[in-house]
Chain A
């Protein structure tokens, strides 16, 4: 049969061994023709009677990291090719192929690393088509070596031969290299003297290393050495913020931390994120307290580059691997900058000469309700797109929020969210934002015509959007964007009810919104319910002094008589502060009315004396959750009565019930009784963990009861906003939803916090642009 077919596949088909896969399959099935790789994906000319079977298997047996999002199959003229060959990729106009995120080192490459007979024995940069750097080294598309920072390293004959051999694991692996031709490492002390080795001995001695990795620098020390950990914390001026760890392997993690199957899968995945895990009960001595003061969890990852794997050639199972940056500044990714900026922190520098083009922090996930929830999305996931429910009318940029910023570019049917960038008030972060925005546009081939930005008048991103060249600028309410982001991820376009439990966002009534029940879609929304407005004294200064919030909320919620009973609680607040707070509240001076969810958690945390001084974002709420969870672990019968399987769960009355009032059509969640109840328990000397636990439980009940009042149909309920990074609260809400047969949807591939905001902005912008 003289038939010939043209096949076009697109998606993630570059840098994942796709062409050798096609080649091998064609060889095996006797197919003639060619395969080509272009900026539009993979094109195949296939001849021979076996073509239909070939096509079927082609789709079924794709390499593990490939992802096909577009396929085309049509008959073409027969050309009678003598064999099957791989053609060089050609560049033709606009690229459409997806760039792969970076991929953690594969098992084969790890084996090569440990095999004394292998060419790549102990070579810190070995990789293959199944693993290695991708996004972080790409300067331009299509993904070819000349478009990456590997351009600086001409291949030696051996690497070149492997690169050319369609049957080799390194066929067209763009970053392929060996010790003779590829990047090299260099260990240096603070004086600038070159030292031998990778710094393993130094780590073992308790010293601190700045290590250049895949997406940037880490500060590294032996996590089992409390003295080293303390020194690092002190030098980094880090307050109480937890350090991320890297573990030798899964077994050592299992020794100290609880791992579910889902968590294990995440740890071992090619994205290799930091996974937040719970410490094993009674094993608090195993890993120093200083790693994560006040918390029962630790963030852990597995070595994801050969260099990281080689660092474990010492007498330690866990390394601290915290981002190599200065407080409030972006991740450092350039050798010179690391040496300049980290010399007061690191004792040694482990540098290498493979340039990083897109700096990328480690991603952080936590399994909440059996799903991975992103705290931070960056390395290993960016630049994977979200498929959007509708075609975009224009190319749109969503500039994101202010803290934990990530931006998003949407066009066609896809939206690409950038890696986590950070707090935009920091100028260096803002520079990083602009730098990445420029280079991300190249990678995803989208030049925006419309910009969507948050309604907050003082966000840097708002100023940036308003000052920019885009002809159309669309202002988006913060919590509307949170809701629509999740709808977008799930392909939902119908108006849907969502609980957005969040920190702060600018509201349409000029107040600070936060804990909102919105029903809507990209076209618009209605505010159906919200937490009552409470006085936030001093704005962000208050957020750093949660006891002041607790005080102000108490003053607002309690009657004068009730207030008198609470005097004992405020002994920790200096008298002059109390005096000023009283005056502030009386005169409404620098008092912001807010329905924030986050600030309520902060206030309770301070009431319980768990956290009264915040040194990192979210600390008060995170420590409150941790205390509540630890109490739950100690009191398993309570856990049992609240477990998902309990049939009574819906009838249980929470310890601190919420109440409702009406403001026009809008329901107001009143917390007087809750606040009073908590204060009562504190005054009676109840265990703070007990109170913290019942606070979470009561908020979960409050959410569900509010939803039951609002829900008109069996539509799914959206749960999003930064507070849904709280595992205890989220799992309680999920359990209650299940008990009431309310289907829920949450953020999947983006964070529920402000890291996912930009997708919502882009989708809303798309509805409003002309």
Chain B
């Protein structure tokens, strides 16, 4: 059988077969193998929980696929909250006709990413919907993390803090765009999709005041949210923004701003002046943070504003965009 049919979701023999031959085969672990209505998990710590649903076109892209994205997205949301990601759930909605071979590729990718992150999938669910009721495959993951000490969040941001990013920005956004639209830029860009929990472990220390993974909306939108929540302003320096040449080129052509493009394997860190050097060197020592750099500072005046110092010395307002980059030149 090559393709998903409705019977794969009926709860009957085909459903069991699918679970066993695809999901269990690749994701097998003691928790998942309990095969109960609910999985028992150990722990008495304070917990953090997050959930996210993933719908992306194309399902496979340069640097990843929807499965990898579903693991990374949830792991990263926990990690930037200062939690240790511990367990993941996995719910998959399949469109009738989806290639089983593709499903297996995705599940293998989930397994590999979950192994890399060290976060097991502990429960799951699969449903099939009629052709046209979903677009190929939708995935929801819920993550549970544990918290020892918690000191990160917008409320800890102080004027004078530094803003760091773990690497180049906008890679995921451009890579997806190129794949989806079949665009060929001079320099190809690969999605940065990656689990960040180990990277974050490596530099997480007092003095790290806030972390975010600038996914949808990018660094610009994320920092605008932080500036408003923390009632501070943030001054970025354009020359310091790490940019993959392919991203710079694509943005120049399409009129996109890398500050608003999605990232799936980058962490924004706001750290105290005392901590910044340590955080930076730890980040750079990790393979996912080699291009980590300071991109700006937190300031007091004009709370809510995110500004970008241009090479000419002026400052541009990095606003919260409504929709696209609409033309404004009159």
Which listed residue, B316, B319, B321, B329, touches A403 by the CB 8 Å rule? B329
Asked whether B253 lies within 8 Å of A457 as measured between CB atoms, the reply is: no
Cα A577 to Cα B254 in complex, Å, equals: 10
CB of A594 within 8 Å of the partner chain? yes
Cα A30 to Cα B168 in complex, Å, equals: 84
A428: chain B residues within 8 A (beta carbon): 314-315
Asked whether B314 lies within 8 Å of A328 as measured between CB atoms, the reply is: yes
CB of A672 within 8 Å of the partner chain? no
- Which of A164-172, A262-270, A532-540 binds B? A532-540
Which listed residue, A427, A505, A579, A598, touches B315 by the CB 8 Å rule? A427
CB of A395 within 8 Å of the partner chain? no
Asked whether A617 lies within 8 Å of B329 as measured between CB atoms, the reply is: yes
A-contact 0/1 string along B292-330, CB 8 Å cutoff: 000000000000010100101111110111111111111
- Which of A124-132, A311-319, A581-589, A683-691 binds B? A581-589
Which listed residue, B181, B327, B330, touches A539 by the CB 8 Å rule? B327
* Nearest CB of B to A433, in Å: 11
B-contact 0/1 string along A564-577, CB 8 Å cutoff: 00000000000011
Cα A540 to Cα B253 in complex, Å, equals: 11
CB of A542 within 8 Å of the partner chain? yes
Asked whether A539 lies within 8 Å of B182 as measured between CB atoms, the reply is: no
Cα A579 to Cα B183 in complex, Å, equals: 9
* Nearest CB of B to A735, in Å: 26
CB of A543 within 8 Å of the partner chain? yes
CB of A463 within 8 Å of the partner chain? yes
B329: chain A residues within 8 A (beta carbon): 403, 503-504, 540, 543, 598, 617
Asked whether B327 lies within 8 Å of A512 as measured between CB atoms, the reply is: yes
B314: chain A residues within 8 A (beta carbon): 326-329, 426-428
* Nearest CB of A to B25, in Å: 38
CB of B186 within 8 Å of the partner chain? yes
CB of B185 within 8 Å of the partner chain? yes
Asked whether B254 lies within 8 Å of A237 as measured between CB atoms, the reply is: no
CB of A436 within 8 Å of the partner chain? no
B-contact 0/1 string along A57-90, CB 8 Å cutoff: 0000000000000000000000000000000000
Cα A403 to Cα B315 in complex, Å, equals: 15
CB of B252 within 8 Å of the partner chain? yes
Cα A117 to Cα B12 in complex, Å, equals: 112
Which listed residue, A327, A341, A426, A722, touches B330 by the CB 8 Å rule? A722
A573-612 contacts to B, CB under 8 A, are: 576-577, 579-580, 583-584, 587, 589-590, 592, 594, 598
Asked whether A583 lies within 8 Å of B181 as measured between CB atoms, the reply is: yes
CB of B255 within 8 Å of the partner chain? yes
A211-246 contacts to B, CB under 8 A, are: 237
CB of B256 within 8 Å of the partner chain? yes
CB of B184 within 8 Å of the partner chain? yes
* Nearest CB of A to B179, in Å: 12
A403: chain B residues within 8 A (beta carbon): 328-330
* Nearest A residue (CB) for B257: A541
B170-198 contacts to A, CB under 8 A, are: 177, 181-186
* Nearest B residue (CB) for A589: B181
* Nearest CB of A to B288, in Å: 30
A580: chain B residues within 8 A (beta carbon): 183-185, 253-254
Asked whether A753 lies within 8 Å of B312 as measured between CB atoms, the reply is: no
B256: chain A residues within 8 A (beta carbon): 590
Which listed residue, B183, B253, B305, B313, touches A538 by the CB 8 Å rule? B253
A579: chain B residues within 8 A (beta carbon): 184
A512: chain B residues within 8 A (beta carbon): 326-327
A304: chain B residues within 8 A (beta carbon): none
B234-256 contacts to A, CB under 8 A, are: 252-256
* Nearest CB of B to A322, in Å: 16
Asked whether A540 lies within 8 Å of B327 as measured between CB atoms, the reply is: yes
B-contact 0/1 string along A706-743, CB 8 Å cutoff: 00000000000000001000000000000000000000
Asked whether A458 lies within 8 Å of B316 as measured between CB atoms, the reply is: no
A506: chain B residues within 8 A (beta carbon): 326
On whether A592 and B182 interact (CB within 8 A), knowing A327-B312, A425-B316, A577-B253, the answer reads: no
Cα A540 to Cα B255 in complex, Å, equals: 7
On whether A592 and B327 interact (CB within 8 A), knowing A580-B185, A580-B254, the answer reads: yes
Cα A589 to Cα B185 in complex, Å, equals: 14
Asked whether B182 lies within 8 Å of A754 as measured between CB atoms, the reply is: no
On whether A401 and B319 interact (CB within 8 A), knowing A326-B312, A580-B185, the answer reads: no
* Nearest A residue (CB) for B305: A427
Asked whether B330 lies within 8 Å of A542 as measured between CB atoms, the reply is: no
CB of A477 within 8 Å of the partner chain? no
* Nearest CB of A to B319, in Å: 6
B317: chain A residues within 8 A (beta carbon): 424-427, 430, 460
* Nearest CB of B to A235, in Å: 12
B328: chain A residues within 8 A (beta carbon): 402-403, 425, 456, 458-459, 504, 540
* Nearest B residue (CB) for A721: B330
Cα A427 to Cα B306 in complex, Å, equals: 10
CB of A502 within 8 Å of the partner chain? yes
CB of A404 within 8 Å of the partner chain? yes
- In the complex, besides A457-B322, A457-B326, A617-B330, 12 extra interface pairs with C-beta distance below 8 angstroms are A326-B312, A425-B316, A427-B314, A427-B315, A427-B317, A458-B319, A458-B322, A503-B330, A538-B255, A540-B329, A541-B255, A576-B186
The 7 closest A-B pairs by CB, nearest first: A538-B255, A541-B255, A503-B330, A427-B315, A539-B327, A457-B322, A590-B254
Please give the residue numbers on chain A whose beta carbons come within 8 Å of chain B beta carbons, in ascending order: 237, 326-329, 341, 401-404, 424-428, 430, 456-460, 463, 502-506, 512, 536-543, 576-577, 579-580, 583-584, 587, 589-590, 592, 594, 598, 617, 722, 753-754
Sample (18) of A-B pairs whose CB atoms are under 8 Å apart: A327-B312, A328-B316, A428-B314, A458-B322, A458-B325, A463-B319, A504-B329, A537-B255, A539-B326, A540-B327, A541-B252, A584-B254, A587-B182, A589-B254, A590-B256, A598-B329, A617-B329, A617-B330
